[in-house]
Structure 1
Amino acid sequence: MFYLRSVWVVCCLCWIVTSVQAQHVNSYPKDGKVRDLKGKVQEDIVVAKDGTGDFLYIADALEAIRVYLPKPITVYIKEGVYKEKLEIPGTITNVTFKGDGPDKTIITYDDHTGKNYMDTFDSYTLLVWGNSLRFQDLTIQNTAGSVGQAVALHAEGDRLVFENCHFIGGQDTMFASGENSRQYYKDCYIEGTTDFIFGSATALFDNCEIHAKSNSYITAASTPEWVDYGYVFKDCRLTAAEGVDRVFLGRPWRDYAKTVFINCQMGDHILPEGWNDWGRPQVKQTIFYAEFGSEGKGANKAERVEWAHQLTEEEATQYTLEHIFAGQTSQTNAYGFPWYGYQIDSSFNLEDAYQKHKEYFPAIEPVRDVSVDGVLEKNISYKDLGYRSLKMDVFYPEHSKKDKLPGILMVHGGGWRSGDRSLQAPLARALAKKGYVTAVMDYRLSLEAPYPAGVHDVKDAIKWLKSHAEDYGLDTNRVAISGGSAGGQLAALVAMTNGRGEYESPSSDQAASASVHALIDMDGVLAFHHPASSEGTVAAQWLGGTYEEVPDIWEEASALHQVGEGAVPTLFLNSQYPRFHAGQDDMIHKLDQLGVYSEVHGFEDSPHPFWLFEPWFDESVNKVDQFLKKLW
């Protein structure tokens, strides 16, 4: 009897263990059925503690991801505290791990040195071996407390990006390491006690808060001798807990440690001497500790140790993303821009344009983006790129949606590398007041993705508007496209390639047509290579090379060379500068031959972006309205 009872107990225990493991290892999917998905998933994944996702546990999602993914995916980790000790193997690449925010999605564990004979490098909460990974909007923490080394993040993969993440711990919070590892920390918060950022990686900390919780050392770099940069802190804020007043910027874990602080705000907890040699005076000849442009009571360059460096302005300019993360392999990721993120060029904006042009046109007044009575608006995402979504603002008059209105999609300018949709918003509001459904849109600029990405985006925006026509009372048979400067060039190209699939995104999931029925081109070049054109470096950056290097693309991207059966009635609005009208006369000749209507209006003594300013703004609105009323 005792034997049978023992067997029964053992069988029950085995059944319990197997059941628990099955749910944990193989996931709890939305349909409630346990499935073995290990190594098979290559689509986006949702992890949710409440059972509303594909998995309950992050570990299950990691086991399910296909090795060496053929395309990027996102693991969306919904709000919750996930007490899991996680390892991301080297076979997992091209994944974005996105939370609901660092205060909502928290990955936590509490291992530390000495626990079960554990050493520093086994005490991690999250260990990352994989490459080309992004982590956004979450917290990684080790809650072991003041018990010695307790790592929250142990990262040794290459091309790692952490954005808006929090790293919480005590001693050795972050092991940013790997001899060939490049890591980018943007808008992050990192706290700890001793050496809480340590290791051998090349790591840039951009606009981060570095919070010291005890009198000790922030960094302990172990940069290899052959590595150029090591740890770089740019535009960071160095803060401390109450009572902390004796903190060093760093000490060398290995002989060739490199750590640099540039344009940082340093609190008074940073010691005047700044740096420590860890009791090894011989390393002063081999390490490289430097600063430039930092401010605050802790930025006391006159009192720094004599073996530390103050960078010159010229030396500081070398600490760019491109230089810090230079490598022997391609810098381009699966989305077509540098793995450390696309850049935003804000050089073309209303205020700067106003300051530039008012010297020559003293009477001009900028037209700012303000709401208009009787005009409704809605902000939407019209396209998901995987790593971000493209936005659109739709404006429409208060009206019965049974009465279908014509529409206008507006494309902003900025040399294909700058500007944003807000530049076209005043025009869009004014025309909505006159009875149009109007929209302004984001599109990918040259620093994010080269031609033809922006063309694909504009055509996808047209498809989205038509697919949602009922929401706004839009007449899909009366849709115009308008643009200014580079936006005018794009608008013209999109209009003159109506019905041509090679100009549309092959991955578009919108069924509607991308065709438009009219074009308004405001100072948009129609031919990149033309006797009247002076397009050069900026166009080459967008088109992927100079005319001599890629002549076929320069012609392919020129609306003049695409005029054919799909051509539409066109309104040209011109400034006083002829170079922005390159190819216009040739296009009008072609339109005339096809029997397609066109008209031209020029504004004498006007700046190039005349549509941004009075006294030309109202007249531009009226010209567009009059032109479209002739057609419809």
Structure 2
Amino acid sequence: MTFFRLLALPAVLVFVLLALVANEYAQARPSRRTSDIAYVPTSEAGFDAKRHRLDVYAPRKKAAAPYPVVVFIHGGNWDSGNKNIYSFIGRRLAKQGVVAVVINYRLAPQVQVPAMADDCARAVVWTYQHIAEYGGDPKRLFTMGHSAGGGLAALLAADNQLFARRGLAANPVRGAILDDPAGLDMYDYLRKMQYGGDEQYLVPFGKEPAGWKAVSPMYFVTAQTPPFLIFVGGETYPSISSSSAKFRQKLQQLGREPQFAVLPGKKHVPMVLQLYWKNNVIYRELLKFVGVPAA
């Protein structure tokens, strides 16, 4: 079994996540959820009624200044996953003084990764244009993702053309939080094809090496790229460890040293499950990264 195969949500993870979500709803009073907002015009050809949707989680408490904003992108092997499973992340962030936006995007085999990245960019554009209505600060907008979503979150921070194509003069992303990210360098990964079953990734990524590079954040970071906060599980899949280390090295060479931490003993799935608990290290560092004042 390849390390990426388990990026798809196994049944036990879905069960655990749904149980956590059910419990979370019972104690979600400090946050306000606005669900299933279309971030693509519903009249547009190709609008997907399920995947072109996002949820906004805003703190109920009024603040003197707008809250920072985090757009969370789920993982799932580029062919599975749903924003509804991750409502606990939206609620946890809102409870701690962040406006959270948890998004869906189209998946393989319906589309390939360039279309997924465009969907995510369109969700960020919608957020940039509308989040002030929910108490968020569009000038403090960050992306975040786990697994495949981590790779997409990094790409949004690094590839300015994703937003230029959608009419924005500048990339609105001010930083990215990567939680055990996959897909940082699919050009290198797919050229090697060193794990059994790797051919499955030709479905979301296509068969052309130029296409693999076009969606790999490794080849878009520059000295002007916004900052990164990166967490890697100490017992995650080897290629996630190695590609994250290479990504860090590339940023270092560019003079953009990221905040980087390896969490001892953590496997890939627990790296996202831990976000259920408010006081875990990812939230503690995230709040500082996005500028939430210390309590």
Taking structure 1 as the reference length, what is the TM-score of the superposition?
0.39
Closer/same/farther in 2, CA of residues 604 and 586 from structure 1, 3 Å limit: same
Larger-gyration structure (1/2) = 1
SS at match of 2:113: coil
Flag the structure with more relative contact order, 1 or 2, with Cα contacts below 8 A and sequence separation at least 6. 2
Aligned to 1:479: 141
Determine whether 1:563 maps to 2:221: yes
1:401 shift after superposition = 6.4
Closer/same/farther in 2, CA of residues 455 and 376 from structure 1, 3 Å limit: same
Aligned to 1:590: 250
1:457 shift after superposition = 0.8
Closer/same/farther in 2, CA of residues 354 and 586 from structure 1, 3 Å limit: same
Aligned residue type for 2:174: H
Alignment partner for residue 378 of structure 1, among 34, 40, 44? 34
SS at match of 2:68: strand
Aligned residue type for 1:374: P
Aligned to 1:367: 20
2: distance between equivalents of 1:473 and 1:615?
23
Alignment partner for residue 178 of structure 2, among 505, 521, 540? 521
Higher-strand-fraction structure: 1
1:591 shift after superposition = 1.9
What are the superposed Cα offsets for residues 525-550 of structure 1, whole Å, 9 maximum, x if unpaired? 211143798672342111112xxxx1
1: distance between equivalents of 2:97 and 2:180?
25
Closer/same/farther in 2, CA of residues 511 and 599 from structure 1, 3 Å limit: closer
Determine whether 1:553 maps to 2:211: yes
Tell me, yes or no, if the aligned pair for 1:534 and 1:579 is still in contact at 8 Å.
no
Alignment partner for residue 96 of structure 2, among 397, 410, 434? 434
What are the superposed Cα offsets for residues 354-391 of structure 1, whole Å, 9 maximum, x if unpaired? 67xx9xxxxx9963253322111112111135343411
1:505 shift after superposition = 8.1
SS at match of 2:253: helix
1:475 shift after superposition = 1.4
Aligned to 1:216: none
What are the superposed Cα offsets for residues 385-432 of structure 1, whole Å, 9 maximum, x if unpaired? 534341100001024366211100000001101111123321121011
2: distance between equivalents of 1:423 and 1:629?
27
Tell me, yes or no, if the aligned pair for 1:574 and 1:601 is still in contact at 8 Å.
yes
Aligned to 1:491: 153
Equivalences for 1:180-579 in 2 at 5 Å?
Answer: 348-349=8-9, 351-353=11-13, 367-368=20-21, 370-371=24-25, 372-379=28-35, 380-384=37-41, 385-386=44-45, 387-389=47-49, 390-400=52-62, 403-497=65-159, 499-500=160-161, 503-504=162-163, 506=165, 508=166, 513-525=170-182, 526-530=184-188, 536-545=198-207, 550-575=208-233, 576-577=235-236, 578-579=238-239
SS at match of 2:21: coil
State how many pairs are aligned.
270
Tell me, yes or no, if the aligned pair for 1:533 and 1:582 is still in contact at 8 Å.
no
1: distance between equivalents of 2:31 and 2:136?
14
Taking structure 2 as the reference length, what is the TM-score of the superposition?
0.80
Tell me, yes or no, if the aligned pair for 1:375 and 1:432 is still in contact at 8 Å.
yes
2: distance between equivalents of 1:375 and 1:353?
25
* Residue ranges of structure 2 left out of the alignment (5+ in a row): 1-6
Tell me, yes or no, if the aligned pair for 1:366 and 1:613 is still in contact at 8 Å.
no
Aligned to 1:624: 286
2: distance between equivalents of 1:627 and 1:505?
26
Tell me, yes or no, if the aligned pair for 2:54 and 2:102 is still in contact at 8 Å.
yes
SS at match of 2:34: strand
1:350 shift after superposition = 7.0
2: distance between equivalents of 1:366 and 1:590?
40
Over the residues paired in the alignment, what is the CA RMSD in angstroms? 3.1
Aligned residue type for 2:244: Q
Closer/same/farther in 2, CA of residues 615 and 420 from structure 1, 3 Å limit: closer
Aligned residue type for 2:151: Q
Aligned residue type for 1:602: V
SS at match of 1:596: coil
Higher-helix-fraction structure: 2
What are the superposed Cα offsets for residues 59-106 of structure 1, whole Å, 9 maximum, x if unpaired? xxxxxxxxxxxxxxxxxxxxxxxxxxxxxxxxxxxxxxxxxxxxxxxx
1: distance between equivalents of 2:147 and 2:57?
22
Closer/same/farther in 2, CA of residues 596 and 392 from structure 1, 3 Å limit: same
Tell me, yes or no, if the aligned pair for 2:31 and 2:94 is still in contact at 8 Å.
yes
SS at match of 1:392: strand
2: distance between equivalents of 1:376 and 1:350?
29
Closer/same/farther in 2, CA of residues 616 and 440 from structure 1, 3 Å limit: closer
2: distance between equivalents of 1:463 and 1:534?
37
2: distance between equivalents of 1:472 and 1:455?
24
1:464 shift after superposition = 0.5
1: distance between equivalents of 2:175 and 2:193?
24
1: distance between equivalents of 2:194 and 2:100?
32
Tell me, yes or no, if the aligned pair for 2:231 and 2:260 is still in contact at 8 Å.
yes
* Residue ranges of structure 1 left out of the alignment (5+ in a row): 1-346, 359-363
**Paired-residue identity, %:** 23
SS at match of 1:572: strand
What are the superposed Cα offsets for residues 236-286 of structure 1, whole Å, 9 maximum, x if unpaired? xxxxxxxxxxxxxxxxxxxxxxxxxxxxxxxxxxxxxxxxxxxxxxxxxxx
Tell me, yes or no, if the aligned pair for 2:132 and 2:138 is still in contact at 8 Å.
no
SS at match of 1:393: strand
